[in-house]
Amino acid sequence: MSKTTWTPIEDVLTGDYAGKPVHLRGWIYRTRSSGNIVFMTLRDVTGVLQATVKRGNLPDAEFEDALKALIESSVQVTGVVKEDTRAPGGYELQVSSLTMVQFAEPFPITKDQSPEFLLDQRHLWIRSRKLTSILKVRSTVVGAIHSFFRGQGFYEFDAPVLQPNQCEGGSTLFEVKYYDEKTYLSQSWQLYAEAGIFALEKIYNMGPTFRAEKSKTSRHLSEFWMAEMEAAWMDLSDVVSIAKDEVKYILAQVLKHNKKDLEVLGQDVTKLETIRMSEFPTITYTEALQILKDKEGMEIDWGKDLRTVEEDKLMNHFLTPVVVTHYPREIMAFYKPSDKKDPKTALCFDMLAPEGYGEIVGGSQRSTDIAAMTQRLTQMGERVENYDWYFDLRRYGSVPHAGYGLGVERLVAWICKAENIKDAIPFPRTLLRFRP
């Protein structure tokens, strides 16, 4: 017996199979019957196709199965492809044989259900067209991050997920029992990367990152994926320019591979093309405050961090991502050095996405001054001796270096026009949810 060739739905929709028989397999996406006809929409990973099942065109028992089958039942069908301008996609299948793989029970997800219900049913909801499209974009983004860095001679370098120290502030640490001691889930790969650069010079990583964020927002997850890079001999301007190139490269890959998905998601492909080809402006924190004052009438005291509202108001004035550098030193993480030219500012940057998607990248040059870092850690109430291994990196062949982290879900949410960051990851973990 020869092996069956299964045709992907997207190939049927090209028209190449018009008038020809094909075998398809997938799931019933929609179904309705009228007398002796069942109109089924079938879906597979590549798309959806209307299938017409007429009594008399296939064995009676198979027609009865078609009548009975509920949505999300898994099926294999054979039929002839016919051009039909009324069908979505312009083609339909006239079914001559139907094999039920499994009769689905009544599917719990119907129209107009609440976001919370859909999150409870996440294991079923990820097969929706919207989430399938986002997951395809996410896959492209992840692949692009690897190829971007590898293409530039970066090595992939792994850090432990269980870490004894904070990197981004103690308040968002997730504590884990570690035999008789306690440790924390990684907030960042960075501190270990700063050790790795002495061996490999240019390194990157993408991995799960954990923050016990105590607020509910549409931008924060408790578990998210961060793509980070760290490089010896680089300064702030070097890493800012790599971050811009990286985001543009990712956009180019998504535009190359996921146009159809972006259309399903209602994203404007031409707009993303334009953004990809545009210069991303770089401004300082001080200039950002000036824009907020002049154009939004917002007076922010110099020294305050930009909150979500301010970031959003600022981004009202830009169509592309914007890099903001030189935030106030005092409110920054302990490893961010002050700028010698203006010591109250730090050699750091954030990249903000347009349209209210917030900070997608955060990074900096790294301090090489043990005394300054010790002072900052002490102010923060940290036990400085825990950082002694990290200070060794400044004792044995210290070099200027810099790096940044990109929030994969923030970027995916922006590219996909998602309303909430939760839709940018298959199974979101937030303040209120770690199930299913």
Give the pair of three-digit tokens for residue 296: 């939004």
Name the segment binding ligand 4AD (CB under 6 A); options: 54-62, 139-147, 265-273, 361-369. 361-369
- Which residue lies nearer to ligand 4AD by CB, 26 or 405? 405
Angle (nearest 5°) at CA 193 between 189 and 199: 155
Interacting span for ligand 4AD (CB under 6 A) from 108-116, 147-155, 308-316, 403-411? 403-411
Question: In angstroms, rounded to a whole number, what is the distance separating the alpha carbons of residues 25 and 378?
Answer: 62
Instruction: Tell me which residue has tokens 């294991």.
Output: 123
Q: Does 403 bind Mg ion (CB under 5 A)?
A: no
x/- site string to ligand 4AD, residues 215 to 234, per CB under 6 A?
Answer: -----xx--x-x-x------
**Complex with ligand 4AD: residue 43 or 211, whichever CB lies closer:** 211
44 SS3 class: strand
361 is an interface residue for ligand 4AD by CB under 6 A: yes
Q: Tell me, what amino acid is at 73?
A: S
Which of 307, 308, 363, 360 lies closest to 335, judged by CA? 363
Among 207, 359, 372, 382, binds ligand 4AD (CB under 6 A): 359
| DSSP labels, 219-232 | S--SEEEEEEEEEE
Which residue's CB is nearer to Mg ion, number 308 or number 398?
308
Pairing mode of beta strands 358-365, 401-407 = antiparallel
Is position 405 an interface residue for ligand 4AD (rule: CB under 6 A)?
A: yes
Binder of residue 221, out of Mg ion, ligand 4AD, none (CB less than 5 to 8 A by kind): ligand 4AD
Q: Measured at the alpha carbon of residue 333, what is the angle toward residues 362 and 280, in degrees to the nearest 5? A: 20
Of 144, 410, 143, 363, nearest to 238 by C-alpha is 363
**Smaller CB separation from Mg ion, 77 or 360:** 360
Query: Could you please report the per-residue DSSP string of 171-195?
Result: GGPPEEEETTEEEEE-S-SHHHHHH
> Which residues, in sequence order, are CB contacts of 335 under 8 Å at separation 6+?
167, 190, 191, 194, 364, 366, 367, 373
Residue 168 lies near ligand 4AD (rule: CB under 6 A) = yes
- Count other Cβ atoms within 10 Å, centred on residue 117: 12
Quote the CA–CA distance of 248 and 52 in Å, as a whole number.
44
Q: Which of 136, 401 has the CB closer to ligand 4AD?
A: 401
405 binds Mg ion (CB under 5 A): no
**Least distance to ligand 4AD, CB of residue 323, Å:** 12
Residue 405 near which of Mg ion, ligand 4AD, none (CB within 5-8 Å, type-dependent): ligand 4AD
* Interaction of residue 141 with ligand 4AD, rule CB under 6 A: no
26 touching ligand 4AD, by CB under 6 A: no
220 binds, among Mg ion, ligand 4AD, none (CB under 5 to 8 A by kind): ligand 4AD
Using CB under 6 A, pick the residue from 11, 213, 238, 382 that binds ligand 4AD: 213
Question: CB of 170: closest distance to ligand 4AD in angstroms?
Answer: 13
* Partner from Mg ion, ligand 4AD, none binding residue 213, C-beta < 5-8 Å depending on class: ligand 4AD
Q: Which does 265 bind (CB under 5 to 8 A by kind): ligand 4AD, Mg ion, none?
A: none
Minimal distance in Å, beta carbon 338 to Mg ion?
A: 17
> Can you tell me the distance from the alpha carbon of 187 to that of 37, in angstroms, rounded to the nearest whole number?
57
Measured CA distances, 322 to 144, 251, 254, 348 (Å): 21, 15, 20, 14
Which of 26, 196, 362, 407 binds Mg ion (CB under 5 A)? It is 362
Q: Which of 69, 24, 72 is nearest to 51 (CA)?
A: 24
Q: Is 345 in the site for ligand 4AD (CB under 6 A)?
A: no
Cβ atoms of residues 73 and 36 within 8 Å? no
Residue whose CB is less far from ligand 4AD, 211 or 326? 211
- What residue ranges bind Mg ion (CB under 5 A)? 362
- What residue ranges bind ligand 4AD (CB under 6 A)? 167-168, 188, 190, 211, 213, 220-221, 224, 226, 228, 359-363, 403-405, 407, 409-410
